C-alpha cells in the first residue's frame, strides 16, 4: 500500500467558506503552499468568493490571524500556512510549540476546524521540497480542510 494519507476522491467543497492565513516569513515556501492550497480547494468545488485570505508577519501571528477570520468572516474551516526553519537559537521550538497549542485551543474553543498547515523543518532544503517541490503539502491541506469543514457543518 502506498505511504501517506488517502483522501476521499469525491470530496466536494462547494458552499464551504474557507479562511486562509499566510505567514510572510520564508515567503517563497509559504506562497507556493498557498497557491497549491487554493488550486486544491477550487479543484474540489470551493469558489473564489468562498475563499477569504489574510496575511501575517510570521508563524507566531497565525493563531491571531485565524481568530480574526473565524470572528469576522464566518469561515467554516481555517488553513493557516507557515514555514518554520530551525536556526541557531531556541526560537523554532518556542514558536512551533506555541502555534500548535494555539491552533488546538482555538479550534476547540470556537468549534471550527483548523488545519495544521505549518511545516517545521530542520533545513531550508527540507522546506523547499515540502512546499515548492514534489512533496508539497498544499493539496493535502486543502483536502483535509474540506473534509473537516463538511464534518463540522
Catalytic residues: 91
Q: Considering only residues 20, 21, 33, 61, which one is a binding residue for ligand RBF as defined by CB under 6 A? A: 61
Residue numbers 4-23 binding ligand RBF by CB under 6 A: 23
As measured in angstroms, the least distance from the Cβ of 29 to ligand RBF is: 9
Is the Cβ of residue 57 or residue 133 nearer to ligand RBF in the bound state? 57
Q: What are phi and psi of 87, to 5 degrees?
A: -115, -150
Cα–Cα–Cα angle for 16, 48, 137, rounded to 5 degrees? 75
Is the Cβ of residue 15 or residue 57 nearer to ligand RBF in the bound state? 57
Q: Which three cell numbers stand for residue 133?
A: 517541490
| Location of C-alpha cell 468572516 | 73
CA distance linking residue 120 with residue 111, whole number of Å = 25
Binding status of residue 31 toward ligand RBF by CB under 6 A: no
Amino acid at each position: 500500500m502506498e505511504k501517506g494519507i488517502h483522501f476521499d476522491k469525491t470530496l466536494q467543497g462547494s458552499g464551504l467558506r474557507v479562511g486562509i492565513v499566510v505567514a510572510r516569513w520564508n515567503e517563497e515556501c509559504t506562497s507556493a503552499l498557498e497557491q497549491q492550497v487554493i488550486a486544491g480547494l477550487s479543484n474540489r468545488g470551493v469558489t473564489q468568493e468562498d475563499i477569504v485570505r489574510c496575511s501575517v508577519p510570521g508563524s507566531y501571528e497565525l493563531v491571531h490571524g485565524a481568530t480574526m477570520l473565524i470572528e469576522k468572516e464566518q469561515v467554516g474551516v481555517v488553513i493557516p500556512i507557515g514555514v518554520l526553519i530551525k536556526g541557531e537559537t531556541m526560537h523554532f521550538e518556542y514558536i512551533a510549540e506555541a502555534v500548535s497549542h494555539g491552533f488546538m485551543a482555538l479550534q476547540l474553543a470556537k468549534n471550527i476546524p483548523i488545519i495544521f498547515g505549518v511545516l517545521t523543518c530542520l533545513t531550508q532544503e527540507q522546506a523547499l521540497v515540502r512546499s515548492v517541490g514534489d512533496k508539497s503539502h498544499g493539496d493535502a491541506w486543502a483536502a483535509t480542510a474540506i473534509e473537516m469543514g463538511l464534518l463540522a457543518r
